[in-house]
Amino acid sequence: MKTAIIVGAGMGGLATAARLAKAGYEVFVFEARNQIGGRIGELRRNGYRFDTGPTLLMMLEPLERLFSDLHRRVEDYLELVLIDPSYRVYFGDGTVFDSSPNIARMVREIARKISPREVPGYLKLMADLSAMYHAVVPAFVRKQYDSLADLFSPYQVGLLLRHRLLANLWKRVGRYVRDPRLRMLFSFQTMYLGLSPKEALWVYGVLTYMESGEGVWYPRGGMHKVPHAVAQIAQEEGARIYLNQRVAEVLVENGQAVGVRLASGEVLRADVVVINVDAPTAYRELLPPTRYARRNFKNSCSALMFYIGYTEPLPHQLHHNVYFSRDFEQNLYELFVQNRVPSDPSFYTCLSNRTDPQDAPAGCENLYVLVPVPNLTGEDARAAAPRVLETVIARVGLKRERIQFVETLTPHEWQALGLWQGAAFGIAHNFFQSTAFRPSVRTPFRNCYLVGASTQPGNGIPMTLISAELVAERVLGRRSRKA
């Protein structure tokens, strides 16, 4: 029986573990912390429960594919709930808008709150994004890249031209919808990747489609149920998961990975090593020196988090809520160009107790707040946290005496998870760090692979699941599904 060591029990590591265990490998997962899931974390305090990282489950297909490849049914492990309206949007001018994947609802909301004249543009935008999404995912996302030639086949070049994939997202969305509020609404999703919508390529409109077209889902019990379900399957297939076991080094002999050395000094040998640690950190700290360790990757922005126990209902909030800065373009400029904590930041809030009432004591709210801020190369978000919290308190309309506690998480804590420069969303998704240019799941060392958000295809739970598919295909010697 061949053995595989997986370094890190984030989403990508666990999905790879399950796939390799199912294929007959003896699998050992070593996780540095005392819990699995990586960024998909959980916090419990005073009867409140918070998801600490992801809150939006989108693009279910890779999750469903994982389960079906493992001969399991999603519904036997997870209860997925469609959240509709997806979220409530608070625009800077006072407009309150409920976004929905239900087209009829959305048409009504746009006509009522914005203008009936914008409805045809919205419908055309969704139709074009849907067509692009269904073409792009098999051709560019679920794709093994061995060389640049794999990026420029005649079919892919045809798609590139037909959908104008390299056009600017912000400008192009503005041609479908004229109202600045709708332009924000249909392009801000790139911030989930830590990417400014003003700098993003049109192809990243697939995120808008995932959300506005397919909808936002939630696993009852919390987001961490997803990695726990995958870990359970991996263990049912024989994988062993060890917590509090930091890997200090991947051992390489004659250009081939042969095992790992744990921080305790113990050496373990394996036929295959898969690293789920953020790719720049893996190249810098775990692997022998290569040109990748010196590559100056551009990082995504980071996230300043507040987890607030609140002792009064906030009836105006839904499960998900987005607060746009009063001057969104200035917000983007300060964050992405000046690398500063915005003076009037946009932010996102989540109350999972809307769907899981037991997540907060009766009559209370578990208020999760995510504010995009610079990574550790920019202004110190830790120092700015009190000021940002004041903005959140004012805009959400919180009463100070009702705040039972505030737990804060800054880019420093994201860095402690192995994320280079504290970039919560991994390396950026600019053109030269996407598709074939993004770190491959293969490393320069034989039998050594990378999986996770800073590898191909990219950030987000669905992408890390696809990353695990790509790794398993490589390890098991199956060719990619060709475009």
Ligand X SMILES: Cc1cc2nc3c(=O)[nH]c(=O)nc-3n(C[C@H](O)[C@H](O)[C@H](O)COP(=O)(O)OP(=O)(O)OC[C@H]3O[C@@H](n4cnc5c(N)ncnc54)[C@H](O)[C@@H]3O)c2cc1C
Q: Name residues contacting ligand X, limited to 19-48 (CB under 6 A).
A: 30-33, 38-40
Q: Which is nearer to ligand X, 144 or 189 (CB)?
A: 189
Say how far apart CA 302 and CA 298 lie, in whole Å. Answer: 12
Shortest reach from residue 258's CB to ligand X, in Å: 17
Residue 378 binds ligand X (CB under 6 A): no
CA atoms within 13 A on the CB side of 31: 20
The string of DSSP letters for 233-278 reads: HHHHTT-EEESS--EEEEEEETTEEEEEEETTS-EEE-SEEEE-S-
Binding segment (CB under 6 A) for ligand X, from list 6-14, 167-175, 201-209, 291-299 = 6-14
Q: Which is nearer to ligand X, 67 or 122 (CB)?
A: 67
Contact 334, 342 (CB under 8 A): yes
Decide the pairing of beta strands 26-30 and 3-7: parallel
Residue 54 binds ligand X (CB under 6 A): yes
List the x/- string, 237-256, binding to ligand X by CB under 6 A: ---------xx---------
Residue 385 binds ligand X (CB under 6 A): no
Of the candidate residues 92, 219, 345, 460, the single one contacting ligand X (CB under 6 A): 460
Asked if residue 85 has a cis previous peptide bond (ω within 30° of 0), the answer is yes
Contact 437, 456 (CB under 8 A): no
Residue 303 binds ligand X (CB under 6 A): yes
Give me the phi and psi of 392, to 5 degrees please. Answer: -65, -45
Q: Which is nearer to ligand X, 122 or 283 (CB)?
A: 283
Say how far apart CA 344 and CA 51 lie, in whole Å. Answer: 25
Say how far apart CA 347 and CA 356 lie, in whole Å. Answer: 22
Residue 422 binds ligand X (CB under 6 A): no
Binding segment (CB under 6 A) for ligand X, from list 9-17, 65-73, 326-334, 442-450 = 9-17
Q: CA angle at residue 195 from 107 to 143, to 5 degrees?
A: 90
Residue 469 binds ligand X (CB under 6 A): no
Q: Which is nearer to ligand X, 163 or 429 (CB)?
A: 429
Q: Which is nearer to ligand X, 55 or 86 (CB)?
A: 55
Residue 418 binds ligand X (CB under 6 A): yes
Q: Which is nearer to ligand X, 345 or 452 (CB)?
A: 452
Q: Name residues contacting ligand X, limited to 103-162 (CB under 6 A).
A: none
Shortest reach from residue 259's CB to ligand X, in Å: 14
Residue 453 binds ligand X (CB under 6 A): yes
Say how far apart CA 119 and CA 106 lie, in whole Å. Answer: 9
Of the candidate residues 375, 459, 466, 474, the single one contacting ligand X (CB under 6 A): 459
Say how far apart CA 127 and CA 7 lie, in whole Å. Answer: 41
Residue 411 binds ligand X (CB under 6 A): no
Q: Which is nearer to ligand X, 10 or 121 (CB)?
A: 10
Q: Which is nearer to ligand X, 7 or 114 (CB)?
A: 7
Say how far apart CA 466 and CA 203 lie, in whole Å. Answer: 18
Q: How many other C-beta atoms can be found within 10 angstroms of the C-beta atom of residue 162? A: 11
DSSP label of 216: E
Residues at the site binding ligand X, with contacts judged by CB under 6 A? 7-13, 30-33, 38-40, 53-56, 246-247, 276-278, 303, 370, 417-418, 424-425, 452-453, 459-461, 464
